[in-house]
Structure 1
Amino acid sequence: MASKKYLVLTGLFSLLGASAVWAQNAPATSSGTMTGGYNYLDTAFIPPSRQAQQRSFLNNESIYPAKPRDMWVLGINAGEFNYFSDVPFQLGYGFGASLRKSLGYTFSLRAGLNYGQAKGLDYRNGTPIQNLPAAVAAKYAAAGLTTYVANFKSTAYQGSLDLIASLNNIAFHKPQNKVDFYALAGYSIFSYQTKVDALDANGNPYNYASINFTASKKDIRKALKNYLDGSYETDATTQSRQQNFNNNTPGHRQWRHSLDLGAGVDFKLSKRVSLALEQKFTLPFDDYLDGKYLGSGGVLTPDKDLVSYTSVNLSIALGNPSRRVEPLWWMNPLNYAYSELNSPRHMKIPTPVLPDADGDGVTDQFDKCPNTPAGVAVDVHGCPLDTDGDGVPDYKDKQLITPTYCQPVDADGVGKCPCPDSTCFAGYVKPTCNLTSLPSIVFRGNSVTISRDQQYLLDNVANQMRQNPDCKVVVTGHAQASKASEQLAWDRVNAVITYMTQKLGISPDRFIFQYSGVPGDLNAVDLRAATPADNGPNMTPPPHPNLRRSK
């Protein structure tokens, strides 16, 4: 008979295995509720009794958010119900309902009410007739029979309150488990009534002379089922117990304080629905559940009968999802901490302070000169400025601007040209201006704005002028014989000189301003090195100010 139970269990596991595959492939909802998360900053999920803690958390006075209000779970179960006792069991059935509520993320309470019917049939003709009520035992004795084949049919009601512990809801590497393994323990009030098929349809004791008790267990039990009428007309003997007000009248329903133990695996099908396979044992501490309490020779059996219920449980979460989160045993309590680490929404994050050991304004990770003395001006790399590029930083350079032709310099930055006038160059031929071919700056349409690529050309001109401090540059615009054209040429020459002086730091007196009178491309401003014959102002007033353009 145990093999039948294992067959049923195998079928149930196969069914739940298929359900698990479906659950794993279910897509997440748009709100992300399949991941078991919720907005822990939303007070709508917090009951009034915990609002004070939530306010303290939101004000950063506490690091712990309040526990959210979660859903109740209604359960419906059905399965195989039997007794592990002195009489081998046959497949029975049971069904019931339950209501479950979480206490936290691991523990929850479940109240349940169940009905079950268990049957048993022995394959041995050796049970003493003293197990039967006195009147029935007397009929067996009168017929010369001292034993009978033990059998029973029992109906039971069970009200239980169980504490359930989820064993794997805390996940370190994913937001939520879709399968919950759990264990349970609790209390039941167990009520049963057991009857025995001891007499045939005529009220006479069974005579088992036609049964071959040397055959296999399976064949013996099959023959017995065909022989017995299945009327279960005899109330089994019961034990007088205080829980039953010491009433052991045959046929009177018995009540027992009982202990529950069990385990199960629950498969999540959606946010509200799950399907579980559970094995629960109930210990009523009673050896009379199967109607047999005496063994061979009329000896009292020392073991107590055990109630087994293997069931499939369909659970449905109840509640408004805008005010209640899903049952807490399906939620990973680490979600809050991990989400804050990944994308802080509530965490108080201090302003980052990057180390700058020498205090020059360039952080150590980018500072190419990490030991610059305090107060020394530095470039973007954190190195002291060297205006004349002679290799001696400005704060040590006693000759801040040393012309290139006076370099190299000594340790103090002083070049080989001790004085600025021509007497210092006796016997020395000063080189001519060494500016290379200078570009033309092109403007688009009627614009006076210097484009980015043209600015790069002017940057190169500025570098050459720094290397040739005695050179001047003639900046020439081209105009037609009209007021608008003359003013446009003036605006473009002015834009080039302004950029060179204000953006690139070239002195204004190094430019000669020309905006008309020279033929050329009307959309270009030409730059060339000045010759000794070139004379002219570095700025002229606009010819037609009312026609000036700024763009």
Structure 2
Amino acid sequence: MNYSTIKKVVACSMIAALGVTSASAQDGTTSSSAKVFGGRAQYRTWSLGVNAGVLMPVAVTGGSDDFANWDVKLGYGLTLRKQLGHAFGLELAGLRGDLSGSNSSATDIAATDRRSFETELGWAGSLSGVVNVATVDFLRRENSVNFIVKAGYGFAGYAPKTVNAANVALDWKGKAGSSGDKDYVIGAFIPVGVGVKFKLSNRVNFDLGYNMYFVDADNLDGTYAKGTSKDKFSYGYGGLEFSLGKSSKPNLDWVNPVAMMYDELKDNTLRQEVEALKGRVSTLENTVNQLAADADGDGVSDKFDKCPGTPAGTVVDGSGCPIKFPEPAATTTSSGNYSNIQFEFDSSVLKTSSYPTLDQVSADLRADNTKTITLSGYASAEGTEAYNLKLSKDRANSVKTYLVNSGVDAKRITIKAFGESNPIADNSTEEGRILNRRVEFK
């Protein structure tokens, strides 16, 4: 095995890791206005990575291999990751490189009839779930080192080239596929990996990792030698990962939700806002209680009641003061005194309080068939003259209808409409307007 190359890679990685850790320590903690339950929109969640390392046709989990010896070859790749939460993301990864191995003894060659192989990994693409193991930390507010594990599914295109015991080369490139004219054999694989991230800055991470790829085939090395066994390969790498998005937002990779929650609970500004809000709520509650208070029960709040202490049942105006209704004027007819029939604003509907007067008029008319009566309708000054003239006529007709329904001959009743003319009270006051909404008997 080519242990010299492995030693060089490990040594370089350790030196880089020490340098990154030092840079991370100087970077410090980044303040952020992000909230624990504020959603992904408040973070940077996309990352683009580049990496390079060594490809090997073996895996640390062991298992059978078609060749006794393996070589370390260069590999390189790209990653695009979407962080879905503080501890989980999805990563799309691409990889290229070469794999190679050989048999060192006649026994090994006889077992497979292969002296060596070299496989061109034209492309490999996979989608994996990535778990950030150390995102939640109860000891540090913000980490500069994070550990990850990932697994997924993917496809690869590869072209093996083998040399048999007779030193005859067999190259699969251009001879793959069912029709034998494709450059690469297409095979599925399952990637499983672990890694460690070092925070260089708020934008850049340095990554070290090791991935194993379990191929769903036994032809990665161009050799079918172990019956139902499947081939595998692995990739040890280092690389840089760049966080994409607005600089004003923190990178979700490095956010510790425990620290954020602590900040929200201990934030003086937040506490001050809460206390101020409590004060405003208390003030509003007191105002509502004051508005609801009505000691004399007249329906007007004490805060606006200009005449507190009015007796129960008193009709009051909007300021809480009693309304003084003048007694309706009486008119004299040949059969006695009849009170005017009063109406509500913009209404020709008879009030029940008018029934006693109307019943008396009806009785007098039915008792003496020689008598006739004139009903004069009036209105207050609101509205147009034409409208008030019609309204006064409707009011007189309402009285006539009542009398006719009570047994008085309609021919003995005359209707007259005067609208807002001939007022008996001042139309500039509500008390006067109430008196002017009337029907008189003559």
TM-score (norm 1): 0.44
Distance 1:174 1:66, change over 3 A: same
Equivalent residue number for residue 66 of structure 2: 86
- Extract unaligned runs of 5+ from structure 1: 29-34, 42-62, 132-146, 200-204, 207-231, 295-299, 353-551
Equivalent residue number for residue 314 of structure 1: 240
Rounded to whole Å, the distance in 2 between the matches of 1:238 and 1:304 is 23
C-alpha displacement at 1:152, in angstroms? 3.1
**Letter matched to residue 171 of structure 2:** D
1:100 and 1:108 in contact (8 A); partners too: yes
1:75 and 1:98 in contact (8 A); partners too: yes
Equivalent residue number for residue 316 of structure 2: none
C-alpha displacement at 1:105, in angstroms? 0.4
Rounded to whole Å, the distance in 2 between the matches of 1:12 and 1:250 is 42
Distance 1:82 1:250, change over 3 A: farther
Equivalent residue number for residue 38 of structure 2: 65
Equivalent residue number for residue 149 of structure 2: 183
Equivalent residue number for residue 235 of structure 1: 171
Distance 1:27 1:106, change over 3 A: closer
Equivalent residue number for residue 162 of structure 2: 196
**Structural RMSD (CA):** 3.1
Equivalent residue number for residue 157 of structure 1: 123
Q: Deviations over 1:121-169 (max 9, x none)?
A: 11122356796xxxxxxxxxxxxxxx45243343331011111100001
* Residue aligned with 2:139, SS: coil
| 1:305 aligned onto 2:231 | yes
1:274 and 1:314 in contact (8 A); partners too: yes
Identity value in percent: 24
C-alpha displacement at 1:116, in angstroms? 1.4
2:161 and 2:172 in contact (8 A); partners too: yes
| 1:109 aligned onto 2:75 | no
Rounded to whole Å, the distance in 1 between the matches of 2:121 and 2:161 is 9
**Letter matched to residue 33 of structure 2:** N
Q: Deviations over 1:299-321 (max 9, x none)?
A: x4443211201111211112221
- Extract unaligned runs of 5+ from structure 2: 59-64, 280-442
Matches within 5 A, 1:438-449: none
* Residue aligned with 1:288, SS: coil
Rounded to whole Å, the distance in 2 between the matches of 1:149 and 1:248 is 27
Equivalent residue number for residue 363 of structure 1: none
Matches within 5 A, 1:221-300: 233-235=169-171, 247=178, 249=180, 252-294=183-225, 300=226
| 1:38 aligned onto 2:42 | no
* Residue aligned with 2:71, SS: strand
2:44 and 2:246 in contact (8 A); partners too: no
C-alpha displacement at 1:14, in angstroms? 1.4
Distance 1:151 1:250, change over 3 A: farther
Rounded to whole Å, the distance in 1 between the matches of 2:105 and 2:182 is 26
1:283 and 1:306 in contact (8 A); partners too: yes
* Residue aligned with 2:262, SS: helix
The structure richer in strand per residue is 2
TM-score (norm 2): 0.55
1:185 and 1:259 in contact (8 A); partners too: yes
Distance 1:36 1:285, change over 3 A: farther
Distance 1:170 1:127, change over 3 A: same
Equivalent residue number for residue 20 of structure 1: 20
Rounded to whole Å, the distance in 1 between the matches of 2:118 and 2:179 is 17
C-alpha displacement at 1:260, in angstroms? 0.9
* Residue aligned with 2:72, SS: strand
The correspondence for 2:256, drawn from 314, 332, 352, is 332
Equivalent residue number for residue 548 of structure 1: none
Distance 1:308 1:239, change over 3 A: farther
C-alpha displacement at 1:342, in angstroms? 2.5
